[in-house]
Copies of this chain bind each other. A is one copy, B any other.
């Protein structure tokens, strides 16, 4: 088994990955996803297949495949013969619907995760909350990027800890939207102190082993997020 060297690239990989070779479409997918998550692509902006291919210096074929995958996540939308566009900005109704969905799913995740929590996973969750507390919260995006990442990681870890592939899939279908909303929903991280306290409460409930308490703490957290966003968000 030798390293992949699909194209010329005569200099070889820096310290080549031994296995799990990567396909160009995967690279394009991750690149586009990062652009969407980081807000480099604004809602409504067109995502040209040919243009992206030129920008990433690949052919349109892998870009087309990456975008086809992205479409199913709701981050981009496609119109036949017209191309892809970044999904439009969230309205208040969208936000209310998203929170309703989170309320249906995340407390269940917390309850299931609590029942089979392992020490190593608990450590990861604790680390996420610690990162949340330590993350800078400056005004520019670069400065609260780590905060958002830790927040998303906390919720995703709980979903994964359920051990239920379908609950993970259901959360993943929402997770990207949650992240996107944080960027463009009009509410910054003015609620950091409250949010950190709520995350800590969820973590405490989980480590106590009381499933119902964990579910309740998560439900309370989501409700509080909803309440603060409604209070802060500008009228649309």
Contacts and interface: CB of A to CB of B under 8 A. Distances in A.
Nearest to A164: B97
Interface stretch (A100-108, A183-191, A218-226): A100-108
A40 interface: no
- Kindly report how many copies of this chain are found in the complex they form together: 2
Interface residues of A, dominant DSSP: helix
A177 B170 CA distance: 12
Contacts of A66: 68
Given A72-B72, A80-B20, A80-B21, A97 B166 contact: yes
A4 to B, nearest CB: 9
B104 A108 contact: yes
Interface of A: 20-23, 25-26, 61, 64-66, 68-69, 71-74, 80-81, 94, 97-98, 100-101, 104-105, 108, 112, 163-167, 169-170, 173-174, 177
A9 B26 CA distance: 36
Contact of A166 (B20, B71, B101): B101
Contacts of A26: 80
